[in-house]
Structure 1
Amino acid sequence: MEHITLLIGIVIVTALVFDFTNGFHDTANAMATTISTGALKPKTAVAMSAVLNLVGAFLSIEVAKTISSGIIDESSGIRPEVIFAGLVGAIIWNLLTWLAGLPSSSSHALMGGLLGATVASAGIGAVNGGTVVMKVLIPAVAAPLVAGLAALFATRLTYRAAGKADEQQTAKGYRTGQITSAALVSLAHGTNDAQKTMGVITLALITGGVIAPQADPPTWVIVSAGLAIALGTYLGGWRIIRTMGNGITDIKPPQGFAAQTSAAVTILASSHIGFSLSTTHVCSGAVMGSGLGRKGGIVRWSTAARMVAGWGLTLPAAGIVAAGAALLAQQGDWGVSTVAVLAVAVGAGIWLLSRRQPVDHTNVNDATLPGSSEPEPAGVVTAALRTVAPPPAAAAVHAKAASAAEAGDGNTQGAPEGVPEGVPAAAQHADA
């Protein structure tokens, strides 16, 4: 067994940086609906998620094997600098989409980065195309559909089971259920996503001759990957939590419970069979399904369309950045140093831009999106649907407000700016 060289050490550190960005980028997957419905306070939610991400990292290594010995041919001459370039492409895409508050896939950013760097350095023959199609691309399409349909039917079943029970009385029970299901999603996220970094580090150790081909991740790799993703999760990707919790649909406690349970089952099942799917795709699909499952619920298709466009761009965008980084890194030590300096500069620039419109646990449930002072627009499809199927709760509140105005109650004092006279703020909030 050879010693770990400086280059392999750089790759390991970069992989853990990616794992950290994966943590705060994907916190929304487990905790966005829990935070938006008030089931848990924001800081409590991310702390719980961080602990369970760490625990989940020790439950399986099947996905790590897919990364370390599945999508790339280990015998094709891939060197550690190529893996380093792939990680740089994934990190930059993660940071850009975090800045935009876009729930894109950290998993696909990593896949795209590794594939782009590999093709640029060793050619398309170094990629195991069958594995990529069967364990990456097909799950990418199928997972959000499966989770979305499961959440849709689970939401309808949940509301039917509740029957005519008072919504306020049942909400407390559903919030408790949300905490349990959110914990399950966090555990599943650690099981699936932390393994991807384990796989990358293991691949770097194999290509550097440190461990034997086909070897399982060493224990220290599992521990370090689990800690890195847990720390990132605890810091919280508040911009993406805001989009996931408030930008796709108006989440009620029964919907949040149904969405998170459906997502957790999908993720855990895929981890068991080694599918490297995106937890972002799964959880986003489940949230959309829960929005469609509630009578009167509306999905904000404008936000959903931006998310899907981001999903489609993730693989090629991360791959292009990684390919350029690989060509530069292969020039020698100066090339690796240049890539590292550029990556740090880009990351610092993105962080400085984020400070212009900060989002944290104090404003994560605000109705506006990052970079804007206006609420999220409904979009053409949503506006059309609202004309034929307005949410019942909102209609009832408006009718009550109109009756009160005719009776001369005049209960309009304290209405915020922009609220029509005679309509209480609660009615406006319900219709947002």
Structure 2
Amino acid sequence: MKPLADKIRPSCMSEIVGQHHLVGEGKILNKIIETKQIPNMIFYGPPGVGKTTVANIIASVANKRFYKLNATNASVGDIKKIIDELDNLLSINGVLLYLDEIQNFNKKQQQSLLEYTENGQITLIASTTENPYFYIYNALLSRSSVFEFKPLNKNDIIKALKRGIDVLEKELKSTKILCEESILEYFAENSGGDLRKAINNLQLTIYTANRNSDGNIEVTMELAKECSGTKALNYDKLGDKHYDVLSAFQKSIRGSDPDAAIHYLARLIKAGDLISICRRLLVIAAEDIGVAYPSAISIVKACVDSAMQLGFPEARIPLAEAVIVLATAPKSNSAISAIDKALSDLDNLNVGEVPEDLKDAHYGGAQKLNRGLGYKYPHNYENHYVKQQYLPDNIKDALYYIPGNNKMENSAKAYMNFLKESSK
């Protein structure tokens, strides 16, 4: 049974669904086809969004010998075979190599292409589901243009599914395929933006559907759900999407949006990523809430400990509690700003020695070295405070902690001002 995805694969740019930013009228990949000046390109995006299809269309208009390899099972030997044929008369205009899943090639394998992509003997079109800036050798990356393919939206997928139904109806000739719009919407929603998955599910459903009294194939929602299985989630625990979701998770909490924060928590829970959730929540409590609500980190620690003890699925409850507490809490980044500025000064300034008055004086001979002689013990003074220099001479006027504008820090700021005024 030939996959329906292959039967309806577009043969020109105008048939492609989605990717309007790349293949729409007047867009870059259309212009490349019009000029037939094909550069080295890297197509980056999730599976089932048209990377291979676009590469095939470009290859069809290039006046070059076409080779196709998949990096999951190809080797340096396969590349050498292509290189050995570069002087062949059939390759007089050069070679166009489509290398799928290039992230599976190691550095040495990628380097084997460098000389030939640079001199133009090999024009490379590579595709990857992983961030190319993490997985592709820099020298090869610098010789290529990167194009990002986006997940397809529901309407794009439905348009392709309708094309698939038309193709199957023509094959079946007198038979009609009865499929309601709501079922197509279900296939689209269930696919997670992967057109190939949606089409495969449609094909399986149609081939297993019953015929009605008129002899037509009748697709039901019950059968569609049975054939589709679990909804696809565009998330890779070890890949680029992992960090995208974690980033959105923290930024939603920082932005005081509990609904978005809970959404991204749900994605992380679906991926079973308990450790990353717990670590990130503890970081957020200190980095983004900080001194504005110091008790937040204690609450989060209790929730995290509970989640670790419970495991999934129950862990979702204390995790959701921690997320809502953090998202609705007052925010302050004064703590991280203070420590980062202090660390930066250590890297960039000659901060000097610890003041003599503050140095350890709990040993014989310390006084002879002037250690601790001028130190004033704050508890001996009113309000347990006395003004004295604590920073090294070279940075004695440095200011690291700048209180945030929130109830807790405003109170602390007022108290510190009171101490300074009372000691005058």
State the TM-score, normalizing by the size of structure 2. Answer: 0.21
Greater helix share, structure number: 1
Greater strand share, structure number: 2
**Between Structure 1 and Structure 2, whose CA radius of gyration is higher?**
2
